[in-house]
Amino acid sequence: MLSDTAALFHHAGDNRTPLLAFNIITLEHAHAVLRAAEVAGQPVILQISENAARYHHGPAALIAACRVLAQTSTTSVSLHLDHVASVELLHLAADLGVSSIMVDGSRLPDQENIAFTKDSATWAHQHHLFVEAELGAIGGKGHPHTHGVRTDPAHAAAFVAQTGIDALAVAVGSQHAMTTRTAELDQALIQRLARSVPVPLVLHGSSGIADDALRLAVGSGIVKVNVGTLLNVAFTNAVRDTLAADLQQVDPRGYLGAARTATETAVLHLFHALIPTTAIDHGAGAHLTRPQSPPGPTDPIPTDEREAGDGAGLTAVPTAVPAEDARPCRRRRQQA
């Protein structure tokens, strides 16, 4: 069912479970993510970035398709516009059917970023949209920031107070577009940020983080886990393998179907890695066998299911999030 991002954040906070969000580019991505979420019995966010919108010559068609898929899904799904840097795209958001946006002013000097983010958040709140923003660019996106930049807790708290945002993406060691899981997170910094910042913390670039480190990050205070490249690695590898096995294949349903299945498997792996066994077993995926062995930190992003750990200390989120919980989220997740 189509849900609301604020409601999903509240349930993640109240139930101490991570909220998984996946950046999609194609309809096959969307199908794969929703199928995996349904099997796991967990809510999910479908994210369309400004770059993906540009690829499709505008966001409307892809978001409309995702909206239909969300409405017919058996799990709770919200729609999100990601890394919105243009005012033009921002002002389309209210009519597109998304319930949240990530405002990206990280290319701007600090004071300009604050002003842009504050103005964007004010407009978005007037249109009942949940707002995420970023202070200190996450590596790998070509921003003019030194590699290894980290978010300062005091600066982060001031940024939230000055802008009025609802969630904050933090720079703690991850990088966008990593195809191996070797990035190292500053877990102590995550804990300090969680104590200092009064809104939920978001981790971008999660595809490059090993399962154990992701679980620790959630335990340290990360609420929303953003994933994009993981989907593309699984998808592209399956296309390559399928075409290499049959050089005469011309029907796109053959290789795109294989890519969709591989992407679903990779997404389901993350649900198994970050959501505890009890939560999975109480969801739609109770009949599934858990994966068997975790990938190492230098392994490529998995395209098959492997044992991902217990996710100790987490509890289940209801598959269908009640509409009455769609209220503004202005507090961080309570720490264990």
Catalytic center residues: 82
Q: How far is CA 254 from the centre of its chain?
A: 28
Q: How far apart are CA 309 and CA 133, in angstroms?
A: 31
| End-to-end Cα separation, the chain, in angstroms | 30
Produce one character per residue of 106-126: b if its CB has 16 or more CB atoms within 10 Å, e if not: beeeeeebbebbbebbebbee
Judge whether 178 and 229 are in contact, CB under 8 Å: yes
Rg (CA), the chain: 19
DSSP sequence for 162-216? HH--SEEE--SS-BTT-SBS-----HHHHHHHHHH-SS-EEE--GGGS-HHHHHH
Q: Which two tokens stand for residue 255?
A: 């290789």
Which phi-psi region, left, alpha or beta, contains residue 211 (left: φ > 0; alpha: ψ -120 to 50)? alpha
Q: Which two tokens stand for residue 325?
A: 């919980």
Handedness of CA 209, 210, 213, 217 (dihedral sign): positive
- Given the structure tokens 């100790």, which residue do they identify? 312
Q: Which residues pair with 100 in a beta bridge?
A: 80, 130
